[in-house]
Structure 1
Amino acid sequence: MESYTTYRRLIAKTVIFSLIASLSIAFVYGLYIKKRAVDDLARVDARKTSRMAFEALYSAMEKGWSKQEVDAIIVRLNNVEPQMRINAYRSPIVASLFGDRINDKTIREHDPMVAKAMKGEEILTGEDEIRYLYPIVVKQECLACHTNAKIGDINGVIDVRFPVANLKISLTMMINSFIVFFTVFTIAIFILLYFRLNALLVQPLKQFIGMIQDIINKNDMAKRVSLKTRILEVKNIENYFNKMLDSIQDYYEKLQHLSDRDYLTGLYNRRKFEEFLSYEIKRSMRHHHKFTMLMIDLDNFKYINDTYGHASGDLVLKEVTEIFGANLRNADILARLGGDEFAVILPETPYESGFAVVEKLRSRLESTPISLMFDQITLTASFGIAEYPEQGENIEALLTGSDLAMYKAKRAGKNTISRADQSDQDMAAEIQKKGEFLRRAIDEDRLEPFVQPIYNIRTNEIFGYEVLARIRDGQRYMAAGQFIEIAESLGMASRIDQIILSKGLDNRANLKMWDKKFFFNLSTHSLFGGNYLSVIEEHTMKNDQVGVDTGIVIEILEREAIHNVRALMDIIEAMKEKGISFALDDFGSGFSSFVYLKYFDTEYIKIDGEFVKNITVNEKDRIFVKHINQIAQEFGKKTIAEYVEDEETLAVLKEIGVDYAQGFHYGRPHALS
Structure 2
Amino acid sequence: MKKRISYNKFVRNTILLSISIVLAIFIIFGLYFKSISIDKSIKDDTQIMADLIFQNLYTVMKNGGDKQSLDETIEHLQKTVPHIKIEILKEENHLSNTHVDNSVFDFKEAVINKHDKHLDFSSPILFKAECIKCHSDSKVNDVAGIVHIEHPILDLKISLKDILIMAGTLLLIIVIVFFSTLYHYLNKYFVEPILNLAKQVKSTSSHHDLNTQISIETKIKELKLLEESFNQQNKELVSSYQTIVSQSNTDSLTKIFNRKKFDEYSSLFFSDAKRNSHNFSLVLIDLNKFKPINDTYGHDVGDEVLIFFTKLISQNIRETDFFFRIGGDEFILLLPENDKDSTQVVIKKIKENLKSNLFTFEDIKIELSASFGVCQFENSFKDINNMMKIADTNMYEDKKNYPRER
Do Structure 1 and Structure 2 share a fold, with TM-score over 0.5?
yes
Counterpart check, 1:280 vs 2:280: no
Measured in 2, the distance between the counterparts of 1:358 and 1:117 equals 126
Query: Secondary structure of 1:227's match?
Result: coil
Counterpart check, 1:406 vs 2:392: yes
Contact kept, 8 Å, 2:377 with 2:387, in 1: the verdict is: no
> What is the RMSD of the two structures over their aligned residues, measured on CA atoms?
2.6
> 1:8: how far off?
1.7
Unaligned regions of 5+ residues in structure 1, if any? 92-104, 417-562, 565-673
Unaligned regions of 5+ residues in structure 2, if any? none
Measured in 2, the distance between the counterparts of 1:310 and 1:107 equals 129
Counterpart check, 1:33 vs 2:71: no
Query: Secondary structure of 1:186's match?
Result: helix
Query: Secondary structure of 2:209's match?
Result: coil
Query: Secondary structure of 2:151's match?
Result: strand
Query: Secondary structure of 2:60's match?
Result: helix
Counterpart check, 1:236 vs 2:225: yes
Counterpart check, 1:189 vs 2:178: yes
Contact kept, 8 Å, 1:293 with 1:398, in 2: the verdict is: no
Residue number in structure 2 paired with 1:641: none
**Counterpart residue identity of residue 153, structure 1:** D
Measured in 2, the distance between the counterparts of 1:382 and 1:343 equals 11
Measured in 1, the distance between the counterparts of 2:259 and 2:96 equals 119
Kindly indicate which of the two structures has a greater share of residues assigned to helix: 2
Correspondences of 1:500-515 after superposition (within 5 Å): none
**Counterpart residue identity of residue 150, structure 1:** K
Residue number in structure 2 paired with 1:658: none
Correspondences of 1:323-472 after superposition (within 5 Å): 323-390=312-379, 392-393=381-382, 397-410=383-396, 413-414=399-400
Measured in 1, the distance between the counterparts of 2:275 and 2:137 equals 124
Q: Which has the higher contact order (CA 8 A, sep 6+)?
A: 2
> 1:72: how far off?
1.9
Query: Secondary structure of 1:221's match?
Result: helix
Query: Secondary structure of 1:61's match?
Result: helix
Correspondences of 1:168-207 after superposition (within 5 Å): 168-207=157-196
Measured in 2, the distance between the counterparts of 1:237 and 1:414 equals 66
Residue number in structure 2 paired with 1:125: 113
> 1:243: how far off?
2.5
> 1:222: how far off?
1.3
Query: TM-score w.r.t. structure 2 length?
Result: 0.89
Measured in 2, the distance between the counterparts of 1:142 and 1:263 equals 124
Percent identity of equivalent pairs: 29
Residue number in structure 2 paired with 1:296: 285
Contact kept, 8 Å, 1:129 with 1:164, in 2: the verdict is: yes
CA 1:400 to 1:151, structure 2 compared with 1: closer, same or farther past 3 Å?
farther
Residue number in structure 1 paired with 2:123: 134
**Counterpart residue identity of residue 17, structure 2:** F
Contact kept, 8 Å, 1:3 with 1:230, in 2: the verdict is: yes
CA 1:292 to 1:67, structure 2 compared with 1: closer, same or farther past 3 Å?
same
Contact kept, 8 Å, 1:391 with 1:401, in 2: the verdict is: no
> 1:408: how far off?
4.5
Counterpart check, 1:63 vs 2:52: no
**Counterpart residue identity of residue 111, structure 2:** I
Contact kept, 8 Å, 1:38 with 1:164, in 2: the verdict is: no
Correspondences of 1:557-576 after superposition (within 5 Å): none
Residue number in structure 2 paired with 1:318: 307
Contact kept, 8 Å, 2:270 with 2:384, in 1: the verdict is: no
Measured in 1, the distance between the counterparts of 2:181 and 2:379 equals 78
Q: Deviations over 1:268-310 (max 9, x none)?
A: 1122222222333343344321211122121221111111111
Residue number in structure 1 paired with 2:16: 16
Q: Deviations over 1:542-566 (max 9, x none)?
A: xxxxxxxxxxxxxxxxxxxxx99xx
Q: How many residues align?
A: 402
Measured in 2, the distance between the counterparts of 1:24 and 1:61 equals 54
Contact kept, 8 Å, 1:225 with 1:238, in 2: the verdict is: yes
**Counterpart residue identity of residue 196, structure 2:** Q
Q: Deviations over 1:159-208 (max 9, x none)?
A: 01121232232222222322222122112211111111122222222222
Correspondences of 1:574-585 after superposition (within 5 Å): none
Residue number in structure 2 paired with 1:515: none
Contact kept, 8 Å, 1:130 with 1:163, in 2: the verdict is: yes
Contact kept, 8 Å, 1:391 with 1:398, in 2: the verdict is: no
